[in-house]
Amino acid sequence: MDETGTHRTVLLEEAVAALAVRQDGTYVDATFGRGGHARAILDRLGPGGRLIALDRDPDAIGAASGIGDGRFTARHARFGDLERTVRDAGVERVDGVLFDLGVSSPQIDRPERGFSFRFDAPLDMRMDTTRGETAADWIARASVAELKGVIRDYGEERFAGQIATAIAAARQRQPVRTTGELAGIVAAAVRTREVGQDPATRTFQALRIHVNQELAELSLALPQAVDLLAPHGRLAVISFHSLEDRIVKRFMRDEAHPQVPERLPLRAAELPKPRLRLVGKPVRPSAAEVAANPRARSAVLRVAERAA
């Protein structure tokens, strides 16, 4: 595979260990990418095991077709459609679901995907290139308030107001069509910057999350994963930024400790039953992994088990 086709899998051993793979189990890799986790799961499965992989990126599914293994099924789907996709593959219950969130290296490294300000290329940013609105199209039609809201909320960018105003002024002169144009507009609008970080980093993250509805997808998928899990089945999620991790952490906590509305007179037998049990502490990559793969720097793996 060429340099831009490879993905260095983050927390490979840790995530696969977290699934506690049983030889005859059925597992879901909700984010196939280039299959680093998927291959490690297949290595641990016996002849009766099964792995279903999803990805919304057609390039990832193209790469998955290279895995010639009767135990493996790949589907081009959003994980927001997890339950239907898995049931359509003829499976009702699974023993583990893995999410390795965010973008893959090939998505970032291929200029034509438009995710990176390191190249000047059309401003696309869609993980699923077969449908949906590109970042350029959204920027062309969004109001200044919408631009500001997305850049502030998904980029956690202090200068969201200045950047939104600058984008709106620039697009009056000519449409913002490329990554280079957008990076230039942001750099001119934002003077101070964290050391070692490009001024456009937060804006690009924000647009990517918005274009792909990443947080909404995650919120839709987590309860579906729990619905699919058999008793003692494992849910393992790797997040790469605090917005994702907050959703995962709260979801697992709420499922492990369901809240009772205050003053509701419930008897012990009527109390909501936890659907999940938290497994271990959050796992972060070793210093050696971060040194070898800087993308692992912000990763955190959370694991939970379906209650019996």
Ligand X SMILES: C[S@@+](CC[C@H](N)C(=O)[O-])C[C@H]1O[C@@H](n2cnc3c(N)ncnc32)[C@H](O)[C@@H]1O
Q: Could you give the C-alpha distances from 295 to 149, 164, 241, 285, in angstroms and in order?
A: 26, 28, 11, 10
Out of 100, 109, 245, 255, the residue judged to bind ligand X by CB under 6 A: 100
Cβ contacts of 167 within 8 Å, gap of 6 or more = 139, 147, 176, 182, 185
- Residue 55 makes contact with ligand X by CB under 6 A: yes
Question: In the complex with ligand X, which residue's Cβ is closer, 1 or 188?
Answer: 1
229's enclosing H/E stretch is strand 229-239
Q: How far apart are CA 291 and CA 293, in angstroms?
A: 6
Q: How far apart are CA 176 and CA 235, in angstroms?
A: 40
- Residue 56 makes contact with ligand X by CB under 6 A: yes
- Residue 199 makes contact with ligand X by CB under 6 A: no
In 257-301, alpha helices (H):
287-292
Out of 9, 116, 134, 203, the residue judged to bind ligand X by CB under 6 A: 9
Question: In the complex with ligand X, which residue's Cβ is closer, 170 or 237?
Answer: 237
User: Hey, which residues between 140 and 179 contact ligand X (CB under 6 A)?
Assistant: none
Question: In the complex with ligand X, which residue's Cβ is closer, 7 or 234?
Answer: 7
Report phi then psi at 231, rounded to 5: -50, 135
Smallest separation, CB 56 to ligand X (Å): 4
Angle, alpha carbons 136-9-183 (nearest 5°): 25
Smallest separation, CB 227 to ligand X (Å): 17
Out of 14, 19, 27, 37, the residue judged to bind ligand X by CB under 6 A: 37
Q: Choose the stretch contacting ligand X; rule: CB under 6 A; options: 31-39, 145-153, 181-189, 243-251.
A: 31-39
- Residue 60 makes contact with ligand X by CB under 6 A: yes
Out of 18, 42, 54, 209, the residue judged to bind ligand X by CB under 6 A: 54
Q: How many CB atoms lie within 10 A of CB 225?
A: 27
- State the residue number with the nearest CB to ligand X: 33
Smallest separation, CB 219 to ligand X (Å): 11
Question: In the complex with ligand X, which residue's Cβ is closer, 98 or 164?
Answer: 98
Q: How far apart are CA 60 and CA 54, in angstroms?
A: 9
Query: Number of residues in contact with ligand X, rule: CB under 6 A?
Result: 22
Residue 210's beta-bridge partner residues? none
- Residue 42 makes contact with ligand X by CB under 6 A: no
- Residue 35 makes contact with ligand X by CB under 6 A: yes
Question: In the complex with ligand X, which residue's Cβ is closer, 34 or 152?
Answer: 34
Q: Which of 175, 86, 98 is nearest to 135 (CA)?
A: 175
Task: Report, in angstroms and rounded to the nearest whole number, the Rg of the chain calculated over CA atoms.
Answer: 21
Q: How far apart are CA 252 and CA 265, in angstroms?
A: 25
Instruction: Find tokens 């077969």 and name the residue.
Output: 130
Structure tokens at 125: 């940013």
- Residue 85 makes contact with ligand X by CB under 6 A: no
Out of 16, 21, 26, 33, the residue judged to bind ligand X by CB under 6 A: 33
Site residues (vs ligand X, CB under 6 A): 7, 9, 31, 33-37, 54-57, 60, 78-80, 100, 102-104, 127, 217
